[in-house]
């Protein structure tokens, strides 16, 4: 099942290999990262993307930094690793999984330098690999919970790509759709193309096609009409950061979709690991929204689509208010958005 989609990332002979998502769906190629700075660049240009996947990639980025720092004294190692951690965290600002994974690795760095310095690299390797493996298990668990919420032969809409490609494997929103399909609960998936980076058209459509799950590609502005004229049973999306009050940051366009779903009385599900919940952020409005290069809006496949010197706004994400979300599905259970802060206490 997971194996039909090429691995999003893997570690081999001290190199992190990232499936180059800029080349999909046309070519399956891997980008080699031999240095943590290669990982930073790959995250920035979106060779690897999707909140959990960039978290896992950054964990291996910390391992690469650890290897680079091997010859330094303990105190110099610590300084080097703190700088690497900060640089990795700031490579993309909205997805909190990045910060979560890097901070987890930084704790391991501090502990191993204190207690077990001779096994520093192997301890970092084990920790990055645990983060990788946990991500896949977590996705499968939440997908199981989520699939239970759908009825037989459902028609659903998804936005962006929250699939195997956005995680270490299996996916969050698309993971739920995969499990539901296996259980006879999916008749068709409407895939928003997701302008401007086209994660829906390029990545989600490709994943669904690989697994022979029926789908129909629509442009983002068709979702309302589909809801009005066709039977749509649920909207299922991922998340980049969830605030304590249940507001959700996700790919720009998610907010509009949530309003459409509310108007048409269609359940709106957010599927995300508990590492996407940001216990330090009380409200969605406090979440930093990434602004990306105008070129991604002005060009399609390298070709300009607007007059020269056109001014552009390009927030990469938006905030969906808790009041527009029916349920948030995590590996620890299914929660009403305004109850998500409970996760702080759930082991
Ligand atoms: O800019 P991207 O492609 O990294 O944005 C991805 C999304 O918005 C996903 O929905 C989110 O990260 C969840 S991925 C499981």
CATH of the domain at 239: 3.40.50.10470
pLDDT tens digits, one per residue of 206-219: 999 999 999 999 99
Averaged pLDDT for residues 134-152 = 98
Task: State the DSSP string of 302-321.
Answer: TEE-S-TT-----BSEEEE-
pLDDT reported for residue 4: 75
Among residues 256, 312, 322, the alpha carbon closest in space to that of 283 is found at: 322
Same domain, 87 and 187: no
Q: How far away, in angstroms, is 324 Cα from ligand 1 center? A: 19
| Structural domain boundaries enclosing 93 | 9-139
The answer to whether residue 1 scores a pLDDT higher than 60 is no
Q: Tokens for 102, please give them.
A: 């890097």
Instruction: Give the end of a domain, one of 91, 115, 139.
Output: 139
Residues 6+ apart with CB under 8 A from 273: 52, 97, 135, 138, 139, 142, 172, 330, 331
Residues 119 and 30 in one domain: yes
For residues 222 and 294, membership in a common domain is answered with yes
pLDDT of 130 above 50? yes
Amino acid 3: pLDDT: 46
pLDDT, residue 172, reads 98
Distance CA 190, CA 188 (A): 7
Asked if residue 1 is part of any domain, the answer here is no
209 and 163, same structural domain? yes
Query: What pTM was computed for the model?
Result: 0.96
Question: What is the tens place of the pLDDT at every residue in 242-260?
Answer: 999 999 999 999 999 999 9
pLDDT exceeds 90 at position 281: yes
Instruction: Give CA–CA dist 91/336, Å, rounded.
Output: 31
**Is 2 part of any domain?**
no
Same domain, 64 and 168: no
HSE-up of 186 (CA within 13 Å, CB side)? 28
Q: Do both 164 and 238 map to the same domain?
A: yes
The DSSP letter of residue 238 is -
Element (H, E) at 260: helix 254-263
Per residue, what are the HEC states of 43-95?
HHCCCCCCHHHHHHHHHHHHHHHHHHCCCCCHHHHHHHHHHHHHHHHCCCCCC
Average of pLDDT values for 71-98?
96
Last residue of a domain, one of 139, 156, 185: 139
pLDDT band at 302 (very low <50, low <70, confident <90, very high): confident
**Which of 46, 160, 276 maximizes ligand 1 atoms within 8 Å of its Cβ, making it the mutation to test the pocket?**
160
pLDDT band for 2, please (50, 70, 90 cuts).
very low
Together in a domain, 159 and 281:
yes
Distance 294 CA to ligand 1 centre (A): 19
Copy the structure tokens of residue 342. Answer: 């409970």
Q: At what angle do helices 74-89 and 36-44 cross, to 10 degrees?
A: 10
Which pLDDT belongs to residue 146?
98
Tens digit of pLDDT for each residue in 309-323? 999 999 999 999 999
Q: Which of 135, 240, 247, 318 is catalytic?
A: 240
Helix (H, G, I), strand (E, B) or coil at 347: coil
**pLDDT at residue 35, rounded to an integer:** 96
Domain boundary pick from 139, 171, 197: 139
Share above pLDDT 90 across residues of the chain, in percent, rounded to a whole number: 95
Atom of ligand 1 nearest to the CA of 174: 15
> What value does the mean pLDDT take over residues 153-160?
98
190 and 62 together in one domain: no
Dihedral sign for Cα 207, 238, 158, 93, please. negative
Q: Is residue 107 part of a domain?
A: yes
Task: Reply yes or no on whether 240 is catalytic.
Answer: yes
- % of the chain surpassing 70 pLDDT: 99
Count the domains in the chain.
2
Tell whether 290 and 174 lie within a shared domain: yes
Pocket probe mutation, ligand 1, options 204, 239, 253, max atoms within 8 Å of Cβ:
239
Output the CA 342–ligand 1 centroid distance in Å. Answer: 24
Query: Probe ligand 1: pick from 45, 49, 174, 196, max atoms within 8 Å of CB?
Result: 49
CATH number of the domain encompassing residue 42: 1.20.120.420
Mean local confidence (pLDDT), 288-292: 96
Whether 101 is in a domain gets the answer yes
Shared domain check, 269 and 196: yes
**In a shared domain, residues 184 and 53:** no
pLDDT of residue 143: 98
Question: How confident is the model over 14-56, as pLDDT tens digits?
Answer: 999 999 999 999 999 999 999 999 999 999 999 999 999 999 9
**Mean pLDDT of the region 73-101:** 96
Backbone angles phi, psi at 330, to 5 degrees: -125, 175
Q: Are 95 and 58 in contact (CB under 8 A)?
A: no
Query: Does residue 117 have a pLDDT over 90?
Result: no
Nearest atom (ligand 1) to Cα of 271: 15
Is position 4 within any domain? Answer: no
Are 180 and 113 members of one domain? no
Residues with CB under 6 A from ligand 1: 49-52, 95, 160, 162, 166-167, 172, 199, 238-240, 250-251, 316
- pLDDT band of 347, cuts 50, 70, 90: confident
User: How far, in Å, is the centroid of ligand 1 from the Cα of 239?
Assistant: 7
Residue 299 lies in a domain: yes
Q: Is residue 156, in this structure, part of any structural domain at all?
A: yes
Cβ–Cβ < 8 Å for 284, 321: yes
Asked if residue 3 belongs to a domain, the reply is no
Please say if the pLDDT value at position 108 is more than 60: yes
């Amino acid at each position: 099942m997971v194996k039909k989609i090429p691995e999003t990332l893997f570690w081999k002979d001290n190199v992190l290999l990232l499936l180059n998502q800029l080349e999909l769906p046309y070519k399956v190629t891997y980008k080699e990262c031999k240095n943590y700075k290669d990982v930073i660049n790959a995250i920035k240009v979106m060779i690897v993307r999707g909140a959990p996947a960039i978290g896992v990639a950054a964990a291996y980025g910390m391992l690469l930094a650890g290897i680079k720092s091997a010859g330094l004294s303990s105190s110099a190692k610590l300084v080097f690793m703190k700088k690497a951690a900060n640089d990795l965290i700031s490579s993309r600002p909205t997805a909190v999984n990045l910060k979560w994974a890097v901070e987890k690795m930084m704790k391991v760095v501090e502990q191993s330098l204190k207690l077990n310095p001779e096994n520093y690299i192997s301890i970092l390797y084990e920790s990055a690999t645990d983060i990788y493996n946990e991500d896949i298990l977590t996705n499968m668990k939440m997908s199981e919970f989520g699939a239970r919420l759908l009825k037989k032969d459902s028609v659903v809409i998804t936005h962006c790509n929250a699939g195997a490609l956005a995680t270490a494997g299996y996916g969050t929103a698309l993971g739920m759709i995969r499990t539901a399909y296996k259980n006879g609960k999916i008749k068709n998936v409407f895939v928003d193309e997701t302008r401007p980076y086209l994660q829906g058209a390029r990545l989600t459509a490709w994943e669904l096609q690989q697994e022979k799950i029926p789908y129909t590609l629509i442009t983002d502005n068709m979702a309302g009409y589909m809801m009005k004229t066709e039977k749509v049973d649920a909207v299922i999306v991922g998340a980049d950061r969830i605030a304590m009050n249940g507001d959700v940051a996700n790919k720009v366009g998610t907010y509009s979709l949530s309003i459409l779903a509310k108007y048409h009385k269609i359940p709106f599900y957010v599927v995300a690991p508990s590492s996407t919940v940001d216990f330090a952020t009380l409200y969605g409005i406090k979440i930093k929204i990434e602004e990306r290069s105008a070129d991604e809006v002005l060009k399609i496949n390298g070709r300009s689509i607007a007059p020269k010197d056109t001014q552009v706004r390009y927030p990469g994400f938006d905030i969906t208010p808790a009041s527009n979300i029916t349920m948030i599905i995590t590996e620890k259970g299914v929660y009403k958005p305004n109850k998500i802060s409970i996760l702080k206490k759930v082991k």
